Amino acid sequence: MKDFHHGATDVHPAAEMYARECAEGKLSRREFLTRATALGLAVPTAYGLLGLSAPAKADSHGMTPVMGGSLRMQMSVKAQRDPRTWDWSELANACRGWLEYLVDYQRDGSLTPVLLEGWSVNEDATIYTLNVRQGVTWNNGDMFNADNVIDAITRWCDESVEGNSMATRMGGLVENGAVREGGLERVDDYTVRVHLPAPDIALIVGMADYPAAVVHPSFSSGDPVAEPIGTGPYRPVSYDPGIGAVVERNPDHTWWNEGNGAYLDRIEFVDLGTDPAAWIAAAEAGEIDLNYQAQGDIIDIFDAIGMPRSEAITAATICVRFNQDSEPYGNRDVRRALQKAVNNAIVLELGYNDLGEVAENHHVCPIHPEYAQLAPLVVDPAAAMAELTAAGHAGTEFELISIDEPWQAETCDAVAAMMRDAGINITRTILPSATFWNDWAKYPFSATEWNMRPLGVQVLNLAYRSGVPWNETAFANAEFDALLDQANGLADADARREVMAQIQTIMQEEGVVIQPYWRSLFRNAAPNVHGAEMHPTFVVDYVHYWKS
């Protein structure tokens, strides 16, 4: 068995194959970087395979970061809980100052080690050797070592914890509701070996997702703000859901990466609700330095008041979904009829100002390497009503529920308007954020925002595999699950694409969701804020932000 090590001169054969696929136009550069670095390739080596030099670190913009100062960011502040059960990026972002990750996902698509120094992968990608970073201490003085990595992964694999979506991300490492016997091997104080029963191309990428924050072994599975033991350079000062949160540099902790971040003295998150007018008013009054994300016309308004935008092209989206455990949405004919009434291109225009790309009701994005192009969707309002009538639901009143955030409400308004134009009896219900998210996975017919995942298989694993915690559609299909298992283990993009064509077809034929568009994401920031460009997965890594 030969291992291929992060940063070593040996290059994993799959990475060489990815480089060829990128050159042939089968992979985007972003997806090449994600897959190559997931196999342990250092970022400069990955760029070198493409004949390119790695770009300079983006957070400095060619300037030397300035130490000190405070930054105020508009962001929703939600009630905290166990990180492995986080279901919103904002929950993670507030805690990134003290809770760090084994691996980070960068704006260019590459994966970089954090609490790991690197990793190596055997040729068939069934054994991952994790090299734990030495010299890291927790802010209570404990040393960070292999035992902490084993503890973190073991926690992630525990399916007995309600809402633990990390177990889904760990794939074949989970068996009988826990980490599989022999799955984790402690080689020495700073080396952990992961043994998988089959190749899993998403393992390392899953460790970079926002619920994968590494907590101290003493963590009681409660509130990470109340138990702020971490390895990062900041500490929480206050945290008030719906109001705001404050973190400050921790003077009592020597951070392992001193000199390469933690430039700001203090970061304040200000919760201004969901009305963008309040965000603009706060910016004009000098009460915030940047927003979390901006949509629609407010992007231009922020530009005009001197807070220019940054953009990320992503696979972030919104799904207007049917819960198949609720009637009449258990009837496939009803779901497909409702889909047929909706023109996704019009929803993109009316709901999101055309700031994205039209989607195809299967939650696999053209920027994902395994995306397969299928025949265009059929939009036929007359047929939609005829099919509802044949299914016995011509007079049924449907209710579409959404949050009150403007772009989501407007998207659902557009969907409902087209259904109404087709003669379908539909009402709209708009709920405040706090009310909506209490039961987000249970509504019969509602819309949910979904973040981008770097790999096409990831969100399918999280959202549509039978019985997983985030399966809000209650979709359960044995053929789909088996094909997804197969796709997770295929390195070759062409082979994955053949399987993905079958998966995407099942999603469409089963009428699982109305997924109208892929979102471009925007953030506006004052000109003196650096390193805070919009991240494709909503990461707010304020450890690397600074002000001039």
The pLDDT of residue 10: 67
Residues of the chain with CATH 3.10.105.10: 313-520
Give the three-class secondary structure for 389. helix
Nearest Cα residue to 191 out of 134, 241, 142, 251: 134
Report the CATH architecture of 313-520. Answer: Roll (3.10)
Structural contact between residues 12 and 121, judged by C-beta atoms closer than 8 angstroms:
yes
Strands 309-322 vs 529-530: parallel, antiparallel or unpaired: unpaired
Beta bridge partners of 238: 246
CA quadruple 160, 164, 165, 170: dihedral sign: negative
Structure tokens that stand for 176 in this block: 């009988």
- Alpha-carbon span 172 to 488, nearest angstrom: 10
| Positions of the chain with pLDDT lower than 70, given as ranges | 1-10, 56-62
For the chain, the C-alpha Rg in angstroms (whole number) is 23
Structural contact between residues 274 and 433, judged by C-beta atoms closer than 8 angstroms:
yes
- Residues 386-430 pLDDT 10s: 999 999 999 999 999 999 999 999 999 999 999 999 999 999 999
Structural contact between residues 112 and 119, judged by C-beta atoms closer than 8 angstroms:
no
Q: Which amino acid is at 134?
A: Q
Residues of the chain with CATH 3.90.76.10: 3-55+101-212
Give one DSSP letter per residue of 22-52, joined into a string: HHTTSS-HHHHHHHHHHTT--HHHHHHHTT-
- Residues 81-120 pLDDT 10s: 999 999 999 999 999 999 999 999 999 889 999 999 999 9
Structural contact between residues 97 and 228, judged by C-beta atoms closer than 8 angstroms:
no
The pLDDT of residue 300: 95
- Alpha-carbon span 66 to 69, nearest angstrom: 9
Rounded to an integer, what is the distance from CA 548 to the centroid of its chain? 30
What distances in angstroms separate CA 235 from CA 77, 275, 347, 396, one per listed residue? 16, 29, 42, 53
Structural contact between residues 183 and 200, judged by C-beta atoms closer than 8 angstroms:
no
Strands 174-175 vs 116-122: parallel, antiparallel or unpaired: unpaired
Structural contact between residues 239 and 245, judged by C-beta atoms closer than 8 angstroms:
yes
Q: Which amino acid is at 162?
A: E
What distances in angstroms separate CA 412 from CA 121, 407, 448, one per listed residue? 45, 9, 10
In this structure, how many other beta carbons lie within 10 angstroms of the beta carbon of residue 296?
16
The pLDDT of residue 61: 56
In this structure, how many other beta carbons lie within 10 angstroms of the beta carbon of residue 378?
11
Structural contact between residues 541 and 262, judged by C-beta atoms closer than 8 angstroms:
no
The pLDDT of residue 491: 74
Fold of 3-55+101-212: Dipeptide-binding Protein; domain 1 (3.90.76)
The pLDDT of residue 59: 46
Structural contact between residues 359 and 346, judged by C-beta atoms closer than 8 angstroms:
no
* DSSP, res 204: H
Q: Which amino acid is at 432?
A: P
Instruction: Return mean pLDDT, the chain.
Output: 93
The pLDDT of residue 4: 45
What are the b/e assignments for 344-361, b being 16+ CB within 10 Å?
A: bbbbbbbbbbebbbbbbb
